[in-house]
Structure 1
Amino acid sequence: MARPWRIQYEGAIYHIMSRGVGRGKIFLTNEDYSRFLEYIEKAREKFGLDIFAFVLMSNHYHMLIRTNEPNLSRTMQWIQTAYSTYYNREHKRCGHLFQGRYKSIVVGEESYLHMLSFYIHLNPLRAGIIEKLSKYKWSSYHDYVSNRKVHKWVNSEAVLDGFGRNKQDSRKEYRKLIWEVSGKEEDFLADVRYGMILGDDKFVGWLQKKFIDRKEKRDEDLPQKKRISDDGVIDRVIEEVIRNYRIEKSTLLQRKRHISFEARDVGMYILKMYTGLKNKTIGEVFGVSLSAVNKAALRVSIQRRKQKGIGERIEKITYSAFKV
């Protein structure tokens, strides 16, 4: 059996999930929830983390974090050991509290942050605990939509950046989009590779090259991916979108506000999700704002789950644009 990957590096972004033994509860009282959040805040200071989002449910929790040093294992061991020690003492129990090792998905692009935050914040709604997200106390949702942050250590700004012209617009847009996504927020999980990577072929190839021992036989389920050159990538994507949709370049790149159609959205989506280009750069190509790029990518993410043809078209365009 192949040795499990230990994917830890400076600046890595992870979606973390852990649940109780036998799906049992890990939070019984308000004090339990509060104490766990205290440990997260302390871990942020102790290990140099960015905490983007979290939700605490009765028998599991989710976090979206960035480690600014390659120290995920030490971080999670400290959090779960500290909380387990408190919980066992407080509730007069012994033994393991969490079911095995935490689950982590390493995230390749910051463009996934908004969808992951939606997924995390919608947990209580999916579970049928509440009907309004504002009614659930134990998540970072309020740090995204309220004028006054509840948890000052939550870096909601990194996710909200580009949603609107200012903080107020960004919060308003986030509230709007999370309800539009509700019921479909799990769709993006289809992009998770091998149960542990959320990213494109280029990112998968980079992880394999960096973290798999070259002396070991490579896992047949994780073939080496070709590296994609960023040289001229914008022109190649634009050219392939034009060819596949049979439209003029002037139509695709017309610089008018509030213009949205599939070819234009797909072009922005591919540049955002497959190239690592910043929203600002993509926006300059299409003559739109940063938030418009985010919205276009979100529309395509949702539609490609509904319409098989869009997904096939995206695959055809990316194959032609990125083949080396």
Structure 2
Amino acid sequence: MEKRSYLHIVSRYIHVNPARTKREGKLPLSEKKKYLRNYPWNSLLGYVDDIRRNGTIDYARIFESYGGDNTEGRRLYWETICKDISTGIDIKEEVTGGSILGSETFIKWVRDRFLPAKSREIPAVQRLKKYTTKEAIIAALCKETKKSFDEIKKERGIIRQMAMDLFYRVGGLNGTEIGKMMGVDYSTVSQGRKRLRERLKDDKYLSQMIQRVEAALSTINRLSENCFEHQILYYILTNCVNIRPYIVYV
């Protein structure tokens, strides 16, 4: 996880999660706030009340994004938490390959620094090799649909939704990255993928089309040595690599 851009967002996601369970999710907003202010099983209490802090937690890291570790910073953090309770907070579309948060530069740095060639034969690292380049996906999709990628991007229907889904599910790209490629925002990517899933329940022809694209991709450099972004954080965590201050575990 890239500290500067994402740490404070992940922190909020973790702190809001207890209010999103099946039972607590049905509570009124005021009750959800009260529930979180008294929830003892994560670190939120120390962020909103300095008297209730745990000496092993570095609170200042998060407060860097809220004006500092002071009364105003704590107030702003709690206000943001309350907003997240009301409007929701979801980081799934920002996660590359299901496990890593960061810019392309950061991903490359992590790969080059902590995943030397020798370690790539470790079983845990084999899972990183599922990543398929976006260029290969574009080529396979254009061949199947007999359309150019520019034509696919301009469409508002099922073909564009299929492209978004393949980039996310097969290519390991996050919602923001896909949005930039397709000329839309990340929420459109999420909605498009959701509509596609609903359509696939009843459309066998569409399912077969996607299967053909995936079959074609399986023969195009699936195991590229340059594609280790996919689930790289899993490798780092399981091998206990300390890469602070660039990567921080919350």
Place the TM-score, normalised by the shorter chain, in its bin.
Answer: 0.3 to 0.5
Higher relative contact order (CA 8 A, sep 6+): 2
Output the TM-score relative to the length of structure 2: 0.40
Higher strand proportion (structure 1 or 2): 1
Higher helix proportion (structure 1 or 2): 2
